[in-house]
Amino acid sequence: MLGPIVEGARVLDLYAGSGALGIESLSRGAVHATFVDRSPASVAALRRNLDTLALSPRARVMRCDAAGALRRLGREGARFELAFADPPYAAADVESTLAALAALGLLEPGATLVVERGRRHPLASIAGLATIDERSYGDTVIVRLTPEAGGSVGNRPRGRALRSVPARRAGREGHRQNHE
C-alpha cells in the first residue's frame, strides 16, 4: 500500500504497541523510526522486539502519551516522511493529537500519515491534513492523509494520487539513537 515511500524515510509510530508498523518500515528500508507508547508493558515488548531484530540503533522509543511526545518532538525540530497512528478505536483525543502532529510541522511536505480506526469510530476532519485514500477491511478503516499545502483547515479532498517521498539522509536532527 505504501510502496517506495518507506525507503529512506524517517518514521513516526504513534500508539506503537509492539512496534509492528515501525519495525516493518525499518525492515523495508526506513532509515529511522521513533516509537511512542505510554504503556510500560508495550514499551518493554517493543524494546525486546527491536533488540531481537537488531534494530535498536535505528530506533528511538518514547514512553509517554502521544500528545506529550509530539510537543517534545516539535521542540526538537523532528521531521517525518511517514507516520502511523493506530490508537485504541474508542480513544477520544485522536483528531486533536493528529491535528497537533500537523500544526507542529512534524510532517515533511508530501509526507504520508496512515491512521487505523474502527468502522464505528470514523476519523473526523483534521485541521492541516487532507485525505489521500480511505479503505475498509471488515471493521477496520485505514485512512491515508498528507499535510495540506498552505495549512488550510478542514479540507478533505478525495482521490488524490499518493505522492512518492524521496529518500532522505540519515543522521539529521531528530535522529537521536535508541531509547529514552
Q: Taking 90 as the threshold, does the pLDDT of residue 163 lie above it?
A: no
pLDDT band at 169 (very low <50, low <70, confident <90, very high): very low
Give mean pLDDT, residues 17-26: 96
Give mean pLDDT, residues 130-145: 92
Give mean pLDDT, residues 4-29: 94
Residue bearing the bigger pLDDT, 89 or 155: 89
Instruction: Please give the Cα distance from 24 to 36 (Å, whole number).
Output: 15
Instruction: Please give the Cα distance from 45 to 54 (Å, whole number).
Output: 14
Instruction: Please give the Cα distance from 38 to 36 (Å, whole number).
Output: 7
pLDDT at residue 119 in the model: 84
Tell me the fold of 3-165.
Rossmann fold (3.40.50)
pLDDT at residue 120 in the model: 83
**pTM above threshold 0.85:** no
According to DSSP, residue 130 is labeled E
pLDDT band at 30 (very low <50, low <70, confident <90, very high): very high
Q: Which residues pair with 82 in a beta bridge?
A: 11, 112
Name, in order, each residue with C-beta under 8 angstroms of 41's C-beta and a sequence gap of 6 or more.
none
pLDDT at residue 86 in the model: 92
**The three grid cell numbers given for residue 70, joined into one nine-digit string:** 509530539
- Break the chain into its structural domains and give their ranges: 3-165
How many residues make up the chain in this entry? 180
Residue bearing the bigger pLDDT, 17 or 151: 17
Q: Taking 70 as the threshold, does the pLDDT of residue 160 lie above it?
A: no
pLDDT at residue 91 in the model: 74
